[in-house]
Chains A and B, each alone.
Chain A
């Protein structure tokens, strides 16, 4: 069966520090991969998605970036965090663009 791992679960970082969140998927090949952000009391905002190695699409302008160095690995990064980057970050995978998403358990990021 397929599983998705996301770490760390919680992270507290100072403003201006770098960020690296990692997500890996097991049990499937060539998945679509996604990074979402969920602000408190708000819906899911799609940040990035990838249909293959090295292929990244950005949905919103921001100081975050994403990379997919391997088929089942998706990384969310920032060179300098802003206070507004605080939130709950979720990685997800799917078989195709319009198929159900399967989410990891998220990383709660607090920028201080």
Chain B
């Protein structure tokens, strides 16, 4: 089992829709997690950095964790075509000195 897994998509939604992106993880001891956004032919950029104890909201983006299900989620409200990108989650790996382990990414397409 991979440490961190994501549905690769693509996920296609109409403009204005609420988007839910998810990661499942196997390491139950992490303290925080991150979401990255990667536009085509660009490097990933840090979108949200969240401690595992609660939710975090930043504008149209909300990050959540469900420890009982080992799920972390990123919600995007009022999605825009400019949100079209690949979204990667990242969790520190206790088996690798807490270095980040990335999910494979979910490709999102928001259609106008």
Contact = CB atoms under 8 A, between A and B. Distances in A.
Interface of A: 6, 41-44, 46, 49, 90, 92, 97-98, 100-106, 108
B104 A98 contact: no
Interface string B23-63: 00000000000100000011111100100000000000000
Nearest to B107: A41
Contacts of B112: none
Contacts of A97: 97-99
B102 A90 contact: no
24 contacts: A6-B43, A41-B8, A41-B104, A42-B104, A43-B88, A43-B103, A43-B105, A44-B88, A44-B102, A46-B99, A90-B43, A90-B44, A97-B98, A98-B92, A98-B97, A98-B98, A98-B100, A100-B46, A101-B90, A103-B43, A103-B45, A105-B41, A105-B42, A108-B41
B69 to A, nearest CB: 21
**Lowest 4 CB-CB distances: which A-B pairs, in order?**
A103-B43, A98-B98, A43-B104, A44-B102
Nearest to A49: B99
Given A43-B103, A46-B99, A101-B100, A106 B41 contact: yes
Contacts of A104: 43
A49 B43 CA distance: 17
A102 B99 contact: no
Given A41-B8, A44-B44, A101-B100, 8 more contacts: A6-B43, A43-B88, A44-B88, A44-B102, A90-B44, A92-B43, A101-B90, A106-B41
B49 A105 contact: no
B102 A106 contact: no
Contacts of B100: 98, 101
A74 to B, nearest CB: 14
